[in-house]
Structure 1
Amino acid sequence: MHNDKVVVVGLGYVGLPLAVALARTHEVWGFDVDRARIEELRTGHDRTGEIDTDRLNASTLRLTSQPTDCPPADILIVTVPTPVTADNTPDLTIVRAATRTVAAMIDPTRKPIVVYESTVYPGVTEDICGPLIEEETGLVCGRDFFLGYSPERINPGDREHTVDRITKVVAGQTPEVLDRLSALYGAVTTGGVFRAASIKAAEAAKVIENAQRDINIAFMNEITRIFARVDLSIWDVLAAARTKWNFLPFQPGLVGGHCIGVDPFYLSHLSEQMGYHPQVILAGRETNDTMADWVAGAIHDRAGSAGTALVLGLTFKEDVPDLRNSKVADLIAGLKARGHDVTVHDPLADAGEAAHEYGLDLDASALDRRYDLVVLAVAHDAYRDLGASGLAGLVKPGGLLADMKNAAPTAATTGDGIDYWSL
């Protein structure tokens, strides 16, 4: 095994767990442009909740916000976000910036491998990032440095499918690079590695993984809307359908986050560039992107009038502090547009980030009052632990509990004559 020195660029949900895992077998430096992020990690605190304090403090990972602190590396891994613009066009600004940072770190005498884990459409690594490094350095790709790709598969809050347990897809510019990356990632995961046929194949595999989930959830959201017209609960339908052995257990809901709600646009962008207009992918995106406002309308119609409203949960999924691309913000906007006076509560979300990203104030004491309408938008354990009676207790007599997650179907029987609504 090579005694490679590794630099991980970007220490968010993806980069930090990877860097900590790699540091068990290699000398690893973790770089992030956010000085505050580096300082908090040095104190043993990870705001994403992916790495606990004991594990972080025990790691040999070296942390810096200065790229010049990093020693000449054999492998540089880019794990920065790939969002979309306001018009849903892939935004490679952060990837390009990280690539320029990496370019300045390259020592051609080591012939390093630059690996991208960021989700992109096929061709970005070789057709955009490689040439950008050449432009910045005057070096030649394939001679002075090499390219690799290994798509991230981090699922925030998932303690089962962690980076040290999943199958890691790897791809390299040459067979020798592929061997090096297979050894690197193979040393840190019990799930083994899969050698992709090419870098483009690995890029494509990642983007379709999330597009597939998006389309399946879109189908659930569409049939939810259909069944609502005949007063039929999607949960009752799914309970019956799941008894078939090959039924796929997807659920309806709001599709946000850093991957599923974004990555299909990378695939559709590539498709449009090639002259093909994708129909299924974009139809799924439209269905999911309009779901929040549809839910707001359905809840408002059931409530019968606007009043005080409490929305429980703002993060994009349960039991994580991740606010990126949360569609609960769209739900709140829909309720406000229909006249509701909305209070927002989330025990995991960062209040400063909520204010900065969405202009929303989190009310830590919100559970001390009662409301005309209570919406369970994100089923954090803290809310599930309240039980049906606890959730119903937040609703004024005659009010409505809107349960998007089917977490408290018996709430309407708890007294005070509250109404209950679910998808």
Structure 2
Amino acid sequence: MEPKPVPEILAGLYRSSLEAPEAFQAEYEASSNRVLSILQSFELQEFELQLDDANALHYAAGCGCLDLCEALLRQHPQLNFQEDQYGHTPLLWAVRHGMAGAMQLLLRHGALAWHSDQRGLTALHWCCALDLPRLCRLLLAVPLYVETMIDQRCRRGWTPLHSGAYSGAASCCEQLVAANAQLALRTPDEWTALHLAALKGHAEVLNILAPHCSTEVMLALDSKGFSALDLAKDSGHAAAVEVLRQPEETHRHLVRAWYKCLSRGPEVDFHDLMEAALLIKAPIMEKVSKDALELCCHVVDLGFRIAGYVVEVKDCRGPSGAAPARVYYARSSEQRKVDDVEFLVPRLRSTGQAIWRRGGRYQFRLRGCCDRSSAPDPYSLRQVISEWSEATSLTGQRPRLRRFKSAPSL
């Protein structure tokens, strides 16, 4: 009795891995030993390893059978470069099914990491579209891959970052941004990656992309005149709208401030424009605990002028004209040009003196102290000051967002 053809056995294993993983585990050892025995006993020709426009290595790679992949590569290394009817090599089969071990093995045996299928999709496109961060990281570690493939467009005109943003692959997008993927590139519909993430409501992706986007990218319009914020609003994605609204509001503030400077005529100079790029909004109280309270402030500092902060605490029930208590903070190295900065205000100083009392009613203000060495001229502002916050009773708590914390210097 003739043995069952190798590709048929592997095709059966592959189908089991997709349709019945438990059955695949149960039959794997017997089937793989059977294939290895056939490969050792017979010198199979290349045509004997073909089935349904794919070869035995496609099926083995697609279900992650590493020992079988290795045996096939030793006897028939050319299988590594053959394509199925869609232009998929065994490497793309491994990637599309998340088989990291098989992908690495095929790459070690010379698989072309930059190969694209009939739709122009590379392995990196597939990783991002299917949200496979481990495989994405492995591909980006391939020598010269980042330089040649990170912004490669498929036939649809999408880069891997476009694919990742649309599918919500936050970790993949983070890796691409760290590898200097171009955020300004657009699809034929004039969509940036920001547009695509907003369209699908992927707030986590937007949180990764937005800090690295220029104002031009943040406000870019697609072929129908919609910004990323417009798409998020029209699609009803509240979380995405919240991420994108803040930069647009900041932009409007800067436009108004710069227009005010420029409207003064030809006497305006550079430091006036730099001062227009400094803004601190009134603090918002977020949480009160036994020994500390948390404030959050929206800070715009495009020139990285602010070196430290002073939180002022005013007792609304205290004597009129009394000086507010002050707590000093250094600027965090992680703070971005436009950021929500959180301040932890202790209840007591190290001397035991109270800064605030639980149950009291207080207002808060934030001063940003500018570094004079970074100023455009010696007459630039020494500080930028927010408005006083609304009077707040220190008894409740508001929902918290993730922000940088600044520790006080008492």
Shorter-chain TM-score bucket reads under 0.3
TM-score by length of 1: 0.21
TM-score by length of 2: 0.22
Greater RCO, CA 8 A, separation 6+: 1
